[in-house]
A and B are shown apart, each in its own frame.
Chain A
Amino acid sequence: MSKKTILIVEDTEDDVFFLKRALKDSGIDHPLNVVVDGQQALDYFEGKGEYSDRSKHPIPFLVLLDLKLPYVMGLDVLKWIRERTEHNSTLIVVLTSSQQNRDMEETFRLGGNAYLIKPPSRAKLLEMIESLRDKWLEE
């Protein structure tokens, strides 16, 4: 049986690149899909347009969600997903450079599973992804 999908919601191309590498380097070989703004994330979940093929774009079991996004902000994406109980089992991990307490409090209030601050170095990012792997991806 094929592995469950991870969805990356991130508008910064380089951050997507580092994230993909860190996932690969920590041995995570789940299929990855990437959307680059908040609206695309909602479209993905609704299966609209190019995301209508669920064999290519299945509902993810884990979302890595940036907060500062074009069109629809990350916290609104989080709220939207949590308002739909059919996605209850989807893990949502906020991955942001915002260190504001308010953002973190909102994340947990809205039902986010983790709040991670983007680390400045590659080594730290790898460490972070590995801890994520140990917590949720061991199968």
Chain B
Amino acid sequence: MNPEPKINILMVDDEPANLVALEATLEVLGQNLVRASSGKDALRHLLDQDFAVILLDVQMPEMNGIETAVAIRERERSRHIPVIFLTARLNTDDMVFKGYSAGAVDFLTKPLQPDILRAKVEVFVELALVRQRLQNEIAERTRFAAEISKLNDELAEKNRTLIETVEELESYSYSISHDMRAPLRSMHGFSQILLDECQSSLSPEHQSYLRKINSGALRLDRLIQDVLSYSMVSRTKFKLQPINLDRLTRDVIEQYPGFQLPEVDIQIERVLPEVMANEATLTQCISNLLGNAIKFVEPEITPKIRIRAEAIGNECRIWFSDNGIGISAMDLDRIFGIFVKIHPAEKYGGTGIGLSIVRKAAEKMGGKVGVESTPGQGSRFWLQLKKA
């Protein structure tokens, strides 16, 4: 940091000897001493310089000290500069009154006491220094504030661009995924026609190739659909409203293919409460969780799922306990990630997106998901939402 600039002190006297004496007294303060030999000279200096204090001789020809002080007060720039009058004699009360009216802060009589003069001037120098420091600080803070505000603006602008880019990218990937499904319909449809109508003229090997094309197209379509669902859950803005969880869950169990007895045994323990959610999104969460519980069981085992609600403060945790194959501790952390599959596709199928949709959906509804599991002893997935 730069050394502090010196403070200006204005000394006004028509006697050069007096100015020399003043200078000798005040030199030790180490500030900038400015001489003026008349009232007019003083006003000239005050035009373009700031002063901490003005030492003003009263008895001067042409324009005396009192008149000079009045002129100083009349100017905006110099109005607040303290004036100490120096006078040979305090002859009348009238003069003192005029002096104070003209803004004098003090009267010192000649011959001047150097120590007293120095002490009085020093007070104003200190005051000016403090003011100067404060002004510097204010200037610096203003500069910082301007800089922060500029950075903020830049950040907001970048954020806007980013949001636009993401939205563009999402709608782009939405139409791409959408367009990818048409050729898949062709692959699946035509291979199906060949399988249906030309089976007899194909060798078993060639039939198996056709079946691979046929099921491959279906698998890819399923994958695209899941990616679309994920992006739709991420993009859709919705309001939360009270949802009858009990009715919604029972509807899912009744209506989804493969969710009913005797293939699957799903039971709701007691009535589920109302929760704050979006109906379509919550339906997707529940059908995904149930679908997983049904899918990941040992062969020949009937999936058995128990659903129950647990109150946690003003939220509600819905537990889905199954008798499936369970999840190892290592996989528990990553199971909600997108495209995460912890089992070979041939064994259990799936796209690895189902649970990431559930997590994204739960987050969008202000809730969360989790799981407890031990391999071989089933899993207990939970979905936690605000109570209605």
Interface residues of A (CB under 8 A from B): 12, 14-15, 17-18, 21, 68, 97-101, 118, 120-123, 125
Contact = CB atoms under 8 A, between A and B. Distances in A.
Given A120-B222, A123-B192, 9 more contacts: A14-B186, A97-B178, A97-B182, A98-B178, A118-B181, A120-B184, A120-B185, A122-B188, A122-B192
A123 B186 CA distance: 13
Contacts of B349: none
Interface in B131-173: none
A18 B232 contact: no
Interface in B171-216: 178, 181-182, 184-186, 188-190, 192-193
Given A99-B228, A100-B232, A101-B280, A121 B182 contact: no
A15 B189 CA distance: 9
Contacts of B19: none
A18 B182 contact: no
Contacts of B184: 120
Nearest to B235: A100
Nearest to B229: A99
B216 to A, nearest CB: 12
Contacts of B13: none
A122 B232 contact: no
Contacts of B232: 99-100
B19 to A, nearest CB: 88
Given A99-B232, A121-B218, A122-B192, A14 B178 contact: no
B280 A120 contact: no
Contacts of B181: 97, 118, 120
Interface residues of B, number: 19
Contacts of B182: 12, 14-15, 97
B207 to A, nearest CB: 17
Contacts of A122: 188-189, 192-193
Contacts of A17: 189
Nearest 10 CB-CB pairings of A with B: A14-B186, A120-B221, A122-B192, A18-B189, A122-B189, A12-B182, A97-B181, A121-B188, A120-B218, A97-B178
Contacts of A14: 182, 185-186, 189-190
Contacts of A12: 182
A26 to B, nearest CB: 15
Contacts of B190: 14
Nearest to B187: A14
Nearest to A119: B185
Contacts of A15: 182, 185
B280 A118 contact: no
Nearest to B191: A122
Nearest to A98: B178
Contacts of A98: 178
B264 to A, nearest CB: 22
A123 B191 CA distance: 12
Given A120-B221, A121-B192, A122-B192, A18 B185 contact: yes
A118 B192 CA distance: 16
A98 B218 CA distance: 17
A118 B185 contact: yes
Nearest to B178: A97
Contacts of A18: 185, 189
A60 to B, nearest CB: 24
A105 to B, nearest CB: 12
Nearest to A100: B232
Interface string B213-227: 000011001100100
B178 A120 contact: no
Nearest to A12: B182
B154 to A, nearest CB: 35
Contacts of A100: 232
